[in-house]
Amino acid sequence: MINIKNMGRVIVIGAGGVSTVAVKKMAMNADVFTDIMVATRTKGKADRIASEIKNMKVETAQVNADHADELVALFNAYKPDLVVNLALPYQDLSIMDACLEYGVSYLDTANYEPLDEAKYAYGWQWAYKDRFEKAGLTAILGCGFDPGVTGVFTAHAAKHHFDEMHELDIVDCNAGDHHKAFATNFNPEINIREITQRGKYFENGEWKETDPLSVHQPVNYPNVGARESYLMYHEELESLVKNFPTLRRARFWMTFGQEYLTHLRVIQNIGMASIKPVLYNGMEIVPIQFLKAVLPDPGSLGENYTGETSIGCRIRGIKNNQPATYYIYNNASHRAAYEETGAQAVSYTTGVPAMIGAKLFLQGIWKKSGVWNTEEFNPDPFMKELNEQGLPWHEQFNIDLEL
C-alpha cells in the first residue's frame, strides 16, 4: 500500500469575518489545503462557513481556545500540519502552548494582548522562540495585512529597491461606506482598544508617545483622494524597527471619518470603551464586551459595503548613493471582496494573506524553526501569491511621499 502523506492538513481556529475569507481561499487552493477543519467557540458559525464551501468537505468542531488542554485533545484527534489562529489576540498564547505540547506549527494575524490590559507587544510571543526552535516548529506571527503584508512590502522594498531604508510610513485608508451610523470593520472590542490607546512612533532610536489620535494630516490615496490620516501605534512597528535597524523613523497612519470619531468620542465619554468589569444587576460585565454585542457584526457589513481600502508603505532611503522614495500599496474593493467570499474588504485583506502564509508554510517555502514575523521570510513568493490570490500590488518610485 502506498502511504501518501497529506501535507495540507490545517485547523483554523475562529469563525469570524477573517476566518470566513481565509477558509474559502484555502478551499480555492485545495491542491495544497487537502484537509481543513474550522474549530471555534460557537460551532454553528464554523458550520455556516463549511456549508458555503462546495468543492471539498470542511470539518468543524467546538473548542474553547483559552484552554490549551482542549486544543491538545483536538489536535490529537485531527493531527494537523498547521494551526491557523484566526480567533482573538487573547488566545495566542494558549494556542501556542497547545501547538508546542502536541508538536505542530502555528500562524496568526494579531499579536498577543492580555484581556485586562490594552497593550500591544510582541515580547510575550517572541519569548517562545527557543521552544519552537528546539521543537523544530515554525510560528509565523501577524500574517494579515497590517501586520503581515506591510512587513512583506517592507522586506520587498529592502531587498529590491533600497541599499538602506531610513523612514517608513505605513498608511491605512478605508474609503468604504457600510451605510451604518457606526460599525467597526473587524472585532469591535479589539478595534476600539487599538484606536483609543496612546499614539506611538519610532524616531532616532527611541519611541515617542502622542495623545490618542492627536497628530493628523491629509494624505492622498490612489483612486481615493485626500483623506485625514491619524498617527497611531500599530504592532508591526515594533518588529520592523528591530528587523530593519537602519530605519530612523517608523510611523503608522490610519484614516477615520468625522462621523466615526464623534461616535468613538461619545462611546469613550460615557464609559462604554472601558475594559474594566462593572457590576450590572448583580453580575460582572465588561462595558466594551457589552458594546460589541450591540454593534453590527463586522461579518454582516459586506452586503452593502461600497468603496475600497488602500494600504501601503511609503519609504525614504538611499539607492545607488542617491536619495530615493518609494510607495507600494494595494487597493481592495469591498464589493469585489463580498462577491468572491461574502465578506468585506477588511476581512478579505486579512484572510487572504493568512491563507498565503499558510500555503507557503505547507509548501515548505516559509518554513524555518522558531518564531518569526513576516518580514523575516523571503518576500518574493508571497508577493507573487498576492498578485494571484486577489490582492495585487502597485509601486511608485521617486514621488512626493507627503509625510
Binding mask 275-304 toward ligand NDP (x if CB under 6 A, else -) reads -----------------------xx-----
Q: Which of 24, 25, 45, 251 binds ligand NDP (CB under 6 A)?
A: 45
Say which residue the cell 472601558 belongs to.
Answer: 274
In the bound state with ligand NDP, the residue whose beta carbon lies nearer, of 295 and 362, is 295
Q: Is 236 exposed, middle or buried (0-12, 13-18, 19+ CB in 10 A)?
A: buried
In the bound state with ligand NDP, the residue whose beta carbon lies nearer, of 16 and 317, is 16
Q: How far is the CB of 204 from ligand NDP (least distance, A)?
A: 27
Q: How far is the CB of 150 from ligand NDP (least distance, A)?
A: 8
Binding mask 327-356 toward ligand NDP (x if CB under 6 A, else -) reads -----------------------x------
Closest-CA residue to 137 (of 101, 105, 97, 102): 105
SS3 helix, strand, coil % of the chain, rounded to 5? 35, 30, 35
Binding mask 8-27 toward ligand NDP (x if CB under 6 A, else -) reads -----xxxxxxx--------
In the bound state with ligand NDP, the residue whose beta carbon lies nearer, of 138 and 350, is 350
In the bound state with ligand NDP, the residue whose beta carbon lies nearer, of 165 and 190, is 190
Q: How far is the CB of 278 from ligand NDP (least distance, A)?
A: 21
Residue length of the chain: 403
Read off the DSSP letter of residue 84.
E
In the bound state with ligand NDP, the residue whose beta carbon lies nearer, of 296 and 318, is 296
Q: 152: which 3 cell numbers? A: 512583506
Binding mask 134-163 toward ligand NDP (x if CB under 6 A, else -) reads --------x-xxxxx---------------
Find the largest Cα–Cα distance for the chain: 68
Helix (H) or strand (E) segment spanning residue 80: none
Q: 241: which 3 cell numbers? A: 524597527
Closest-CA residue to 85 (of 31, 128, 140): 140
What is the spatial distance between Cα 248 and Cα 167, in angstroms, rounded to a whole number?
Answer: 6
Q: How far is the CB of 347 from ligand NDP (least distance, A)?
A: 6
Binding mask 221-260 toward ligand NDP (x if CB under 6 A, else -) reads ----------------------------------------
Binding mask 61-100 toward ligand NDP (x if CB under 6 A, else -) reads --xxxx-------------------xxxx-x---------
Q: Name the phi and psi angles at 163, rounded to 5.
A: -85, -35
Determine the Cα angle at 72 with ends 52 and 53, to 5°: 10
In the bound state with ligand NDP, the residue whose beta carbon lies nearer, of 23 and 241, is 23
Q: How far is the CB of 190 from ligand NDP (least distance, A)?
A: 4
In the bound state with ligand NDP, the residue whose beta carbon lies nearer, of 143 and 362, is 143
Specify whether the CB–CB gap between 255 and 308 falls below 8 A.
no
Specify whether the CB–CB gap between 112 and 93 falls below 8 A.
yes
Q: Give the chain's end-to-end CA distance (angstroms, integer).
A: 63
What is the spatial distance between Cα 166 and Cα 324, in angstroms, rounded to a whole number?
Answer: 10
Specify whether the CB–CB gap between 210 and 200 falls below 8 A.
yes
Size of the site for ligand NDP (CB under 6 A): 34
Binding region for ligand NDP (CB under 6 A) = 13-19, 40-42, 45, 63-66, 86-89, 91, 109-110, 142, 144-148, 186-187, 190, 298-299, 350
